[in-house]
Copies of this chain bind each other. A is one copy, B any other.
Amino acid sequence: MKAKVHVTLKNGVLDPQGKAVEHALGTLGFAGVGEVRIGKYIELELNDDAEKSKENIENMCKKLLANTVIENFDVEIVE
């Protein structure tokens, strides 16, 4: 079983990496690109002895994968 986790910066939190990409895309000639926000995408493989609930994955996010002060996370369980 697999879990997909998206970790994104909360609205209002400055994203310097995104700003840099935004600027670079303009420089490369891609017109009309507005705000760019960059987050993390994490794929977790879960073995048979893992607790496979969404709550368990959300705990992983709270404890390690995301900084909940400035980041949101979104958990999706797939086969």
Contacts and interface: CB of A to CB of B under 8 A. Distances in A.
Interface of A: 6-8, 18, 21, 24-25, 28, 30-51, 56, 59-60, 63-65
Nearest to A59: B30
A46 B64 CA distance: 32
Contact of A45 (B34, B42, B44, B51): B34
Given A38-B42, A39-B43, 11 more contacts: A8-B41, A21-B65, A30-B50, A32-B47, A34-B44, A34-B47, A35-B44, A39-B40, A40-B40, A40-B41, A41-B41
B33 A43 contact: no
Contacts of A36: 42-45
